[in-house]
Structures are given as structure tokens and as C-alpha cells.
Amino acid sequence: MKSVKPVIPIDIDGVVVSWQSNLPFFAAEHNIPTDRILEMMVDDKFRQMSEIFGCDDELADRLMRQYNSSKWIRGLKPYDDALVVINRLKHKYDFVAITAIGKSAESCLNRIANLNILFPSAFVDIGESKVSRYLEAKKKYGDRMVCFVDDLSGNLEEFHSVMSTLPMIHMVRGPRAVPTCSHFKATSMFDVEHLLSSRESERPSTSQEAKFRQMVDKSMTTPHSTLFSLSSVQPGDKMLKEIAITPLQVMTNES
């Protein structure tokens, strides 16, 4: 019988892959200046879409959605540390992708294709960065979850409001606001791997690792319940064949 793995819900853009890595090519197709985009590729600073595209909010939002639905998302570049660590940990953990890539079929399938190419068999679910989705993940995985990894403070605070006992890990690859909730800081997935290793160590080597282990033990033995239900569906067979992905479910509303 196949053993049930612990689960790590993890943000994708800014943690696992670089969302802006193919943005210059998309911008070039639409005659959009790439100066700000190139700056973003260097400093990894979070920017509003209007600043990135150099236009008003409405047009910037349309361009963002168009980029997220484009072919370029399938080929986003991974962070080197994420490529190494997630493919190493996937034999011990299941990963759940938490993403704000969009709700369209094209966006979701492009995201799934990108993850399956870079991290085959690592990701078992994909959901949105919303409180309702955090509740759905809580409902489905409960005490199997060991931590949540994200680069944005607001997402960490929202997930913490849903599961206050679950360790929050703040991935800081560039300038970011500091979360107000209790959290652990990481600058690469190697830091996350070190924290996770404390679960297998008889005597964690640092106070941070000891605290992380204590929180994980508490979270995984605490009963979790929610009023929200989970409905998981898979994309149509035709689209699955198009991008040749392994089975990976998409969290959706029942409506």
C-alpha cells in the first residue's frame, strides 16, 4: 500500500519559479518597453502591474492576464535552489501549488505544464491564493500539512488566520514587507530544506529548527475542521493530451 506523504502548500511565483523570466519576450511582442521588467529580473522586487507595464491599472491588468494565458508561462525559469530541493524532497513530501496565476483554463494548464516539466510528480494539487482556497486545503489535507511557504506577507497572514498552528515560512528573494504573524525567514529553498530536516533529527541544531519542529508536531496532531467543502476536477482530456502532463488536480468552486 502506498504511504501517505506529508504535504507542503507552497506559493509558485517568487518562490519556485521566476514569473518575470519570460516577460521581456512577451513585452517585445507587444512593443512594450522592457526597462522596468529587466530591473525586476535583477532585484526580484514586488511591483504593481501598472509600474511593470508603464500604463494605467486597467490596461496593466489586461496585459497581466494575457501574459498569464500565453505560451510564455509554460517555460518560466525555476530558481536554481527550488529546482534542486523540490525534486529532492518530492520523494518524501507532496507539494500543493498555491498560485494567483488566474482562473482561465489556459492560465491553469500553462501553470500545470510548467510545474510538471520542471518538477515531475512533485505537485499533486493547485489552488488559488485566497482564504477560501486555504480553507479547502485545510479541509483536504488537514494534519498532513507541515508548513506553508510564500513570499508575500499578506498571503502568509491570511493562511495563518486559517491555520494558526501551521508554521509559516517567508521566502525573501527580494525586498518584501515583513509578515505580522509568527513566521520563519528563508532566502532559498535550501533554508526550507534545513527546517524540514529538523523533523528527522533527534536534536535540532538551532533554536529555529527546534521551534519549527515543535510547531509542526503540534500542527500535525491538532484536529482541523472547516465549513468549506472541496471539489477537485481535472482539465479536459483534449487539453491534457496537448501539454502531456501527469495527473494534477485543480481546486475549484462547485459552482
Q: What is the pLDDT of residues 128-154, one digit of tens each?
A: 667 777 888 888 888 899 999 999 999
Place of cell 511582442: 29
Residue 183 near residue 170 (C-beta atoms within 8 A) = yes
Q: What is the pTM (predicted TM-score) of this model?
A: 0.78
How confident is residue 225, by pLDDT bands cut at 50, 70 and 90? very low
Mean pLDDT, rounded, for 166-195: 93
Integer Cα distance of 233 and 201 in angstroms: 38
Sheet of 168-171, strand order? 184-186, 168-171, 148-150, 7-11, 94-99, 123-128, 249-252, 231-233
b/e per residue 3-33 (b: at least 16 CB within 10 A) = eebbbbbbbbbbbbbbbbebbbebbeeeebe
Three-class SS state of 165: coil
Integer Cα distance of 91 and 23 in angstroms: 32
Integer Cα distance of 245 and 248 in angstroms: 8
